[in-house]
Amino acid sequence: MQQVPTLSRPLRSDRPEALDQNGAMTPPRSPGPLLRARGAARVWLAIAGSATLSACSLPGRIEEPAGLGPTEARAAILRVLPASTTDRTGWATDIHAALSALELPSTPQNLCAVLAVTEQESSFQADPVVPGLPAIAWKEIDRRAESAGVPKFALRAALGLTSPDGRSYAQRIDAVKTERQLSEIFDDFVGMVPLGKTFLASRNPVRTGGPMQVSIAFAEAQVRSRDYPYPMAGSVRREVFTRRGGLYFGTAHLLAYDAPYDQLLYRYADFNAGRYASRNAAFQHAVAVASGLPVTPDGDLLPHAAGAPRGETERAALTLAARLAMSETDIHRDLSRGDEARFSDSTLYERVFAYAERLDRRALPRAAMPKIDLKSPKFTRRLTTEWFANRVDERHRRCMARIGAPD
């Protein structure tokens, strides 16, 4: 049986009925113009509110893609890659993918920047061969043993033990050809031999790798701040030595940060010397102008070693404390932000440039080439950050001349 719903109140009007002169009930009057207007307004408000809620529930507009599309970008890369490059299509795919994953447009300028650094660092080899690497490795091992106070005979005995691949560690070092192979030897040595932890302090001494020779420490920091776009089978270190990983991390280090530069030359210098090194070198020049003291424009505003004495940049800046109306604590605090983008907005940065420019009566540059001598067991001659940046910049210009549409 169907249940009849009950009502909470009787079916009657909520207003008293009007009676005519004969006592009969008069029909309700139609609403006047004002009431009709109010009713219409309520209807339109309801419609507008509903439309607003509907609009809030819809996604925003799709951004217009920037740069070359995937097919165009890969074709452009193939026009520039040397004909002798192994798996040219794979290189083109991974370079475009690195830019796309980092939300950077595949413009000719960006593509040539990545290509120029890769050509300089590895000649388009995912894990480049290092000539004379066994001798370089043994020299570094002996240096570290002496520094750690480990007797040479004890170290040689440990390296004579059988490693996980069946050969002794010493045999593997003698046959090593690439940094990836050397890194794997050290990983095994630290993990398997007790002396390895003491000798290497549980740290693999191979600090860079892959086709762009990117810092492994940078790569490890990158995955902490942004999801890695590929499945990671092993460690971040191992990914750096792959083509896809080395290109991704190298591209991030080179391009995925805001920098106040009007030339890519300074990004190439930063790639070699550390992010914002060129900006910091220009600041150090301004400190030298303002203080009258010599300051080496190396891009390092504070010493890296814990407990190290004040560096010359801080000493020079402190002589300006009264003229800049800043305390020693404020100056040190701002200098400690030298590895960050926000240093350009700091009080110290702004006041040093303002004072130096008034004193020198000219505008000072906001980017300068860091003066750094490069040191590595792999180098057989004197190299500098300026040399590196200029070599890459030359490669970039050649790439830009060739990357356009075919004739």
pLDDT in tens, 354-365: 999 999 999 999
For residues 108 and 116, is the Cβ–Cβ distance under 8 A? no
Residues 272 and 234 placed together within one structural domain of the fold: no
Residues 153 and 285 placed together within one structural domain of the fold: no
Owner of token pair 């190299």: 383
Residues 165 and 250 placed together within one structural domain of the fold: no
The answer to whether residue 386 sits within a structural domain is no
Residues 150 and 79 placed together within one structural domain of the fold: no
Residues 120 and 236 placed together within one structural domain of the fold: yes
> What's the DSSP call for residue 320?
T
- Tens of pLDDT, residues 336-360: 999 999 999 999 999 999 999 999 9
Element (H, E) at 209: strand 208-209
Give the range of the structural domain holding residue 228, as residue numbers without chain letter. Answer: 68-126+217-256+392-407
Among 146, 176, 209, residue at a domain's last position? 209
For residues 212 and 122, is the Cβ–Cβ distance under 8 A? yes
Residues 353 and 270 placed together within one structural domain of the fold: yes
| Chain CA centroid to CA 349, Å | 23
The answer to whether residue 52 sits within a structural domain is no
Residues 85 and 233 placed together within one structural domain of the fold: yes
Q: Can you give the pTM of this predicted structure?
A: 0.79
Residues 286 and 341 placed together within one structural domain of the fold: yes
Residue 202 CA to residue 197 CA, distance in Å, equals: 5
For residues 231 and 223, is the Cβ–Cβ distance under 8 A? no
The answer to whether residue 175 sits within a structural domain is yes
Q: pLDDT 10s digit of each residue in the chain, 407 long?
A: 444 333 333 333 333 444 444 444 444 444 444 334 444 445 444 444 544 444 455 567 776 677 889 999 999 999 999 999 999 999 999 999 999 999 999 999 999 999 999 999 999 999 988 888 898 888 888 887 777 777 888 888 888 888 888 999 899 999 999 999 998 888 888 777 666 656 665 567 788 999 999 999 999 999 999 999 999 978 899 999 999 999 999 999 999 999 989 999 999 999 999 999 999 999 999 999 999 999 999 999 999 877 788 999 999 999 999 999 999 999 999 999 999 999 999 999 999 999 999 999 999 999 999 999 876 656 556 789 999 999 999 999 999 999 975 54
The answer to whether residue 13 sits within a structural domain is no
Residues 109 and 227 placed together within one structural domain of the fold: yes
Q: Which pLDDT score, from 0 to 100, does residue 407 have?
A: 45
The answer to whether residue 27 sits within a structural domain is no
Residues 283 and 301 placed together within one structural domain of the fold: yes
Q: Which pLDDT score, from 0 to 100, does residue 43 have?
A: 44
The answer to whether residue 87 sits within a structural domain is yes
Residues 119 and 224 placed together within one structural domain of the fold: yes
For residues 240 and 211, is the Cβ–Cβ distance under 8 A? no
Residues 289 and 307 placed together within one structural domain of the fold: yes
The answer to whether residue 43 sits within a structural domain is no
The answer to whether residue 33 sits within a structural domain is no
In 3-state terms the chain splits into helix, strand, coil percentages (rounded to 5) of 55, 5, 40
Please, what is the angle between helix 108-122 and helix 264-273, to 10°? 40
> What's the DSSP call for residue 178?
B
> Would you tell me how many other CB atoms lie within 10 Å of the CB of residue 398?
15
Please count the structural domains in the chain.
3
Residue 179 CA to residue 127 CA, distance in Å, equals: 7
